[in-house]
Chain A
Amino acid sequence: MNMQNPLARVRGTGSSGEGSHHWRSQRYSALILLLLSVWILWLGVSLAGADYASASAVMSSPVNAGMAILFAGTVFYHTQLGLQVVIEDYVHIATLEFAMLIIVRFACLVAFLISAIAALKIALGA
């Protein structure tokens, strides 16, 4: 038995069934990426054309390793949210849409896991 007031149940969920969660998540991840863009641009410029030794040295600093994992997590979350909207807007075959949404989610999760493990491996010098 549902003890929830019908108004409370419907409030904030709307036609998407999850309210503004997706929209807000996209904005929050965008805000974090806006801050991290300074770091990633600095990293890209300072590592352009770098050899193995200097690239390893930069990426093994705890600050850069931590930022890399945070960046990868936020970027692949934002990627998943963004591609989801594009697929929902332009793919009108239900099964194909469903398959693509699952593949994008899975690919973004795997990409984040690989990034995090690679960054840790470099940082720990394993």
Chain B
Amino acid sequence: MSTTKRPMSPYMLGPYYKFQITSVLSILNRLTGVFMSVVTAPLLLCWLIALASGEEAFAAVSLWLGSVLGKLVIAASVFSFSFHLMGGIRHLIWDAGWMLENSQVRFSGWLAIVGSVVLTLIVLGAGL
């Protein structure tokens, strides 16, 4: 039997591993981190550079941020930030050796989902 086609670890997608809240939140924590690295951080950097460059550059960036695409990117960034923040808090709690029972991990997972949605809505609502 050929062993070359075997999935390599970590390989949580496809038919090899059942989807469950632990694996889904784990990959989402990575995805939101990568999204903030390639979209949110460059955007914040552009905003800061524009503010340092003068009124004209700042007006151009502000105009883009106010567009439909800009608002979508901001909303996705705020959600990613909230989600990654909740995921990070879970990881820090686990690293301290707490909440490691299966039932507790599932519970904190749902808490993180609800928490990140609530925080996203609060931030977006307050920023309107």
Contact = CB atoms under 8 A, between A and B. Distances in A.
Given A45-B127, A55-B58, A122-B52, A34 B45 contact: no
Interface residues of B, number: 31
A101 interface: no
Contact of A79 (B30, B37, B51, B88): B37
A111 B41 contact: yes
Given A68-B48, A118-B49, A122-B52, A52 B34 contact: no
Contact of B92 (A27, A37, A79): A27
Contacts, number: 74
B66 A34 contact: no
Main secondary structure, interface of B, reads helix
B126 interface: yes
A114 B37 contact: no
Interface residues of A, number: 33
A86 interface: yes
Contacts of B126: 45
A41 B78 CA distance: 9
Interface in A14-56: 27, 30-31, 33-34, 37, 41, 44-45, 48-49, 51-52, 55-56
A118 B52 contact: yes
A111 B88 contact: no
A79 B52 contact: no
A33 B48 CA distance: 19
